[in-house]
Amino acid sequence: ATVSEPAQKCCAENIQPFLTSILEELMGPVSSGFAEVRSLFDKEVNEIIQDFQKTNDITKLKENVDQLVNLPFNSVKMEPCYLKVNLLQELLQDLKSRFKVYHIDFVVQRTQNFMQEVL
C-alpha cells in the first residue's frame, strides 16, 4: 500500500490530465491512415466494376478480384496508407521523452498491420 499511493498520485497528477489530448493527437494519423485504406478499397472496387461493365469478361473479373484479395500485401498501393500512419513516429517521439514511451516502431507497425487486416 505504501508504494501504491504515491504511484497513483503521480499518475493522477502527471499522466492522467494529458491522456485525452494525447489520444486525440495520436488518433489523427491513425484516422488518416484508415481513411486512406477506405479510399484505396473504393477506388479498386470501382475500377473492377467499370472494367467488368465494359468487358463482361468473367475470367478477367476473377483475376481482378484475386488481385483485390491480395491488395493488403501490395506494398506499392498500400504505401500512401502507411505514410499517413508514419506521422505517429513524430508524435510518439514527443511522448517518449515526456512519458518514457518505448517501442514506437511496434506501435506504428501494429497500426499498419491492423490496416491490412481491415482491408
pLDDT in tens, 45-101: 999 999 999 999 999 999 999 999 999 999 999 999 999 998 888 888 877 777 776
The answer to whether residue 16 sits within a structural domain is no
The answer to whether residue 9 sits within a structural domain is no
The answer to whether residue 64 sits within a structural domain is yes
pLDDT per residue over 20-37, tens digit each? 888 888 899 999 999 999
d(CA 28, CA 11) in angstroms, rounded, equals 25
The domain in which residue 41 lies consists of: 27-118
The answer to whether residue 114 sits within a structural domain is yes
The answer to whether residue 14 sits within a structural domain is no
Q: Does this model's pTM top 0.85?
A: no
Q: Which residues lie closer than 8 Å to 38 by C-beta, 6 or more apart?
A: none
The answer to whether residue 7 sits within a structural domain is no
Q: Is 75 helix (H, G, I), strand (E, B) or coil?
A: helix
The answer to whether residue 98 sits within a structural domain is yes
Count structural domains, the chain. Answer: 1
